Amino acid sequence: MNSSELRQTFLDFFESKQHKIESSAPMVIKDDPTLMFTNAGMNQFKDIFLGNSPIKYNRIANSQKCLRVSGKHNDLEEVGHDTYHHTMFEMLGNWSFGDYFKKEAIDWAWELLVDVLKLPTDRLYASVFEGSEEDNMKRDDEAAAYWEKHLPTDHIINGNKKDNFWEMGDVGPCGPCSEIHIDLRSEDERKRIAGRDLINMDHPQVVEIWNLVFMQFNRKADGSLEALPHQHVDTGMGFERLCMAMQNKQSNYDTDVFQPIIQAIAKMSGKTYGENEEVDIALRVIADHIRTISFAITDSQLPSNNKAGYVIRRILRRAVRYGYTFLDLKEPFMYRLVEVLIEVMGKHFPELIKQRELIEKVVKEEENSFLRTLANGIKLLDQIIEKTKADDFKVVQGEVAFELYDTYGFPLDLTELILKENDLVVNRREFNEAMETQKNRSRSATAMETGDWIEILKDDKEEFVGYDYLSTDVKITRYRKMNIKGKDLFQLVFNITPFYGESGGQVGDTGYIEANGEKISIVDTKKETGLIIHITNELPSDPTCTFKAVVNAGKRELIANNHTATHLLHAALREVLGDHVEQKGSLVNPDHLRFDFSHFQKLSEEEIAKVEEIVNHKIRENAVTEIKNNIPMQQAVDLGAMALFGEKYGDLVRVVKLNESVELCGGTHVKATGQIGLFKITSEGAISAGVRRIEAITAVKAEKYINDKLNTLKEIERTFKSSQNLLKNIEALISENSEMKKGLEAFEKAQLKLVKNALKSEISETKGVNFISKKMNVKSAGDIKDIAFLLKTEVENLVFIAGADLDGKANLTIMFSDNLVKEYDLNAGAIVREAAKEIKGGGGGQAFFASAGGKDPQGIDAAISTAKKMILHKIEG
Ligand code: SER
């Protein structure tokens, strides 16, 4: 069975068990401060497990794109070195939300694996939670009893808390789990060692394929467990491992999910998979990482310098580095793999096909820039090697290796490899210390402590009324204390709220709550796990009373202007540039709007003007914003809504429509576009290959911007005492100015000639040497130099010593004819240095010409005479 058929069989099976089939949620998570990437299929359902969001379907199944490269679940370093870990993988999952529990989860898993997929039962094992004293929990006898119906008891094993109690993170929903393992070894090997002894022992052919989690608890910040409002099932099956089992392979990388990619890289590099371990690791690393990077880009997460973008950048660099070091790939190559990735996965994940050009451009650009960094790092390393050898040392300082790691992306093993070829080693202890120091630094920079929620009002669901109201009476249902980088903050949740929580690029509302004469500022509003969280610097003295909650209306209005203008901008860009324009990110705040979109070249002045014109025309039309709340997704698409890949929408969506602009959006908007007043683009530029950014302003901000420009213009008119032919006048002024400059330069040259001629008449001769020494009245050191060089061409056997007071600073210049330098062993540099002591300064230069500057113009005469004496001394012997 090939991988596509296998995925479909899983989905069909659970559909036949009344599960709703969902598509994958984005792999990159945008609105959850506790998680950067989807690391398990259950992430998108966290709110439901916690009881913060209502259950829409009791049963769901899907194939979820997951990424385990940060936080509690991080497999990055294993990837490539073994044959069954991945950064990105697909997790096949079935869910029960307060519906079926252990029995059905176990029975159906068995039915699918054994009856449908025909996996051999004697190779299957199941583990159950052995219990934990720490959490005061007993063995999961219930799950064991269900397994006993299918498996002999020696195929059921007990597992500890690490393996058989699943937790999403340090806090959050969790529960005991039952894992299904498969033993794929040969008959002989299985006879030698029983499969049960190799479970959870990191054996590449005895692997876990499916985890059935029985979600029952919420882990709190203080470490205790509290029961969830309902019992749920969360299962996750490693798709790539299932493919390995079904296709009788020894490694995930031997399946049809990876082989086409591996073969493509092998062909590019002229290597063969399966001949050399180092080469194989590199091939696996690259085949794995190109998936992660490509899918991240389709989720609008471009490689960048911080947070999730930085993780993606590092993964890309890891792949490039393996290619560079072990496959001799010194030119960009990753981007050429997108084509084969699409062949393998494009059918089930059409976002890859749709965004192919963008993925290729972004990856290629990243590769190029990293290869440049790598080349610079290698240059630096060469210098270090040279110096270490010259000093006769054998050990390179750990800090140096760390700098290579930190700045140039050189991991220690690459540095060590290059050093080894030169018989050098790194001081590892120092390297580790430098690494530890940096980790501590970043840990304290992001240090955040979150307390547990304190419930005041139970069972109250939070309702958002901010589309219609800016003020309402509220009660606090729960609150908790946070400490971010040493500062205490409070997060409050209300039963009903007019405050918009930051999401969809729109910043959160601010305002205040007030009761009994006490007014507390809401400094920000965020969204987290289905809750709207109001942030304050202090806690009300009585959190249980009823408060009047008031949103800062002025700010909200400015935000609405910018948000609606963003939609108009998006539509105008598509009209002017084409349908390939897709939103890649946005920020809407009261001051301005920022819109990132796919497009491959700079916008011309005309295009920018056209876009502005269209948006302003729409504003003047005063189009009424039509909002459709809670309509089915299909209806929204029929209305023309653009559903963006990489966004997760529920079945019921909110649509914001302004004539031809139709967008899925939860933000707050103007009632009619006229309110926006004016739209002005203030900047346009690239943020990465294939993605451009426009910043713009509206309403009063735009008005002020235009007025400031007009005022400058008025000032100019005032200066010209006319508003007629302004441009012509300015051009005339510029050209007149440049003519005058030319005239002045010619005049100054002529002046210099006069000075030079005057100097020539002051020559005094000693032993056939022509001396000119003089304190001069000139404007710059350049003038003296020019005169010196003119004299040199016209006077033979010349010694020229000049001093000058240049705006309170002393200057001393010495020039010799070349023949004198040789004949009398003269060195202008040495003489000027000595003589400059008289002007309290220093200088230098060549043997025939040198100059010095000094603080004391009073000493110029003395300096000239010192220089002259030194020269005479040489000449006269
Ligand atoms: N949440 C569990 C896991 O990730 C099962 O889906 O393994």
Span of 30-39, 111-120, 287-296, 616-625 with lowest mean pLDDT: 30-39
Atom of ligand 1 nearest to the CA of 91: 6
Q: Answer whether residue 34 shows pLDDT above 80.
A: no
| Residue of 775, 774, 772 whose CA lies nearest to 797 | 772
Ligand 1 atom closest to residue 42's alpha carbon, by position in its atom list: 1
Q: What is the pLDDT of residue 412?
A: 82
**Closest atom of ligand 1 relative to the 213 alpha carbon:** 5
Span from the CA of 92 to the centroid of ligand 1 (angstroms) = 10
Task: Give, for ligand 1, the residue of 60, 127, 213 to mutate: max count of ligand atoms closer than 8 Å to Cβ.
Answer: 213
How far does the centroid of ligand 1 lie from the alpha carbon of residue 467, in Å?
37
- CA nearest ligand 1 atom 4, residue: 40
Whole-number Å distance between alpha carbons of 239 and 551 = 48
Q: Measured between alpha carbons, how far is 499 from 523 in angstroms, rounded to an integer?
A: 11
Domain 760-876, second-level architecture: Roll (3.10)
What per-residue confidence (pLDDT) applies to 867?
Answer: 97
Q: Is the pLDDT of residue 418 over 60?
A: yes
* 236 Cα to the center of ligand 1, angstroms: 5
Q: What number is the average pLDDT over the span 833-847? A: 94
Q: Which of 106, 212, 234 to mutate to test the pocket of ligand 1 (most atoms within 8 A of CB)?
A: 234
Annotated binding residues for Zn(2+), written as ranges, equal 563, 567, 665, 669
List phi, psi (to 5°) of 458: -85, 160
Between the CA of 161 and the centroid of ligand 1 the distance, in Å, is 14
**Atom of ligand 1 minimally distant from the CA of 236:** 6
Ligand 1 atom having least distance to the Cα of 93: 6
| Probe target for ligand 1 pocket from 14, 37, 43, 177, with the most ligand atoms within 8 Å of CB | 177
**pLDDT score at 422:** 87
For residue 40, give the ligand 1 atom closest to its CA.
4
CATH number for 3-257: choose from 3.10.450.710, 3.40.1390.20, 3.40.50.620, 3.30.930.10: 3.30.930.10
pLDDT in the model for residue 853: 95
The token pair at 94 is: 């079935």
Please tell me the distance between residue 658's alpha carbon and the centre of ligand 1 in angstroms: 42
Does the pLDDT value for residue 866 go beyond 80?
A: yes
Q: CB–CB of 181/208 below 8 Å? A: yes
At 648 the pLDDT is 61
Least confident of 193-197, 346-350, 446-450, 722-726: 446-450
3-state DSSP helix/strand/coil % of the chain, to nearest 5:
45, 25, 30
Using a 10 angstrom Cβ sphere, with 0-12 exposed, 13-18 middle and 19 or more buried, the burial of residue 806 is: middle
Using pLDDT thresholds of 50, 70 and 90, give the confidence band for residue 445.
low
Flag whether pLDDT at 130 surpasses 70.
yes
The closest-lying atom of ligand 1 relative to the alpha carbon of residue 41 is: 6
CA of 85 relative to ligand 1 center, distance in Å: 15
pLDDT at site 314: 87
pLDDT classification of 447: cutoffs 50, 70, 90: low
Tens-digit pLDDT profile for residues 170-192: 888 899 999 999 999 999 999 99
Separation of CA 231 and ligand 1 centre (Å) = 15
The CA–CA distances, whole Å, from 720 to 292, 432, 701, 715 equal 62, 67, 29, 9
Where are the extended beta strands (E) located within 256-312? none
Atom number in ligand 1 closest to CA 73: 4
Number of neighbouring beta carbons within 10 Å of residue 700: 13
pLDDT (average), residues 797-808: 96
What topology is assigned to 449-551 in CATH? Elongation Factor Tu (Ef-tu); domain 3 (2.40.30)
**What residues flank ligand 1, with Cβ below 6 Å?**
40-42, 93, 166, 211, 213, 234-236
DSSP state string for 319-356: HHHHHHHHS---S--GGGGHHHHHHHHTTT-THHHHTH
92: three-class secondary structure by DSSP: strand
What phi-psi label fits residue 307: left (phi over 0), alpha (psi between -120 and 50 degrees) or beta?
Answer: left
Domain 558-707 has CATH 3.40.50.720: no
- Ligand 1 centroid, distance to 40 Cα (angstroms): 5
> What is residue 877's predicted lDDT score, i.e. its pLDDT?
78
**How many angstroms separate the Cα of 303 from the Cα of each of 26, 296, 410, 786?**
16, 9, 18, 54
pLDDT at 310: 87
Among 48-57, 419-428, 496-505, which range has the highest average pLDDT? 496-505
Ligand 1 pocket: which of 48, 166, 181, 240 to mutate (most atoms <8 Å of CB)?
166
Can you tell me which atom of ligand 1 is nearest the CA of 168? 1
The minimum-distance atom of ligand 1 relative to the CA of 39 is 4
Look at residue 462 in the predicted model and tell me its pLDDT.
Answer: 81
Q: What are the residues whose beta carbons fall under 8 Å from the beta carbon of 577, sequence distance 6 or more?
A: 599, 603, 607
Ligand 1 midpoint to CA 169 (Å):
12
Mutate to test the pocket of ligand 1, among 235, 240, 242 (most ligand atoms within 8 A of CB): 235
Mean pLDDT, range 570-597, rounded to an integer: 94
- Categorize the per-residue pLDDT at 459 as very low, low, confident or very high, splitting at 50, 70 and 90: low
Banded model confidence at residue 198, pLDDT cuts 50, 70, 90 = very high
- Of 27, 42, 233, the residue with max ligand 1 atoms within 8 A of its CB, to mutate for a pocket test, comes to 42
* Model confidence pLDDT, tens digit, residues 766-800: 999 999 999 999 889 999 999 999 999 999 999 99
At 708-719, the pLDDT tens digits run: 999 999 999 999
Here the tokens at position 258 are: 């990876």
Q: What is the average pLDDT score of the chain?
A: 92
Q: Which residue's CA is minimally distant from atom 6 of ligand 1? A: 236
pLDDT at 578 over 80: yes
What mean pLDDT is predicted for residues 684-704? 94
* Residue in 37, 91, 129, 209 to alter for ligand 1 test, most ligand atoms within 8 A of Cβ: 91
- Residue 746 backbone dihedrals phi, psi, to 5 degrees: -60, -40
Q: For residue 237, how far is its CA from the centre of ligand 1 (angstroms)?
A: 8
Residue 407 has pLDDT above 90, yes or no: no
Domain boundaries, the chain: 3-257, 258-371, 449-551, 558-707, 760-876
The CA 212 to ligand 1 mean position distance, Å, reads: 7
CA angle at residue 810 from 805 to 814, to 5 degrees? 100
Q: Whose CA is nearest to atom 2 of ligand 1?
A: 236
Give the mean model confidence (pLDDT) for residues 677-700.
Answer: 94
Fill in the amino acid letter for 455.
E
Residue 164 CA to ligand 1 centre (angstroms): 11
CA of 235 to the centre of ligand 1 (A): 6
Please tell me the distance from the alpha carbon of residue 91 to that of residue 106, in angstroms, as a whole number: 17
Round to whole Å and give the CA distance between 312 and 305. 10
How far apart are the CA of 130 and the centre of ligand 1, in A?
Answer: 18
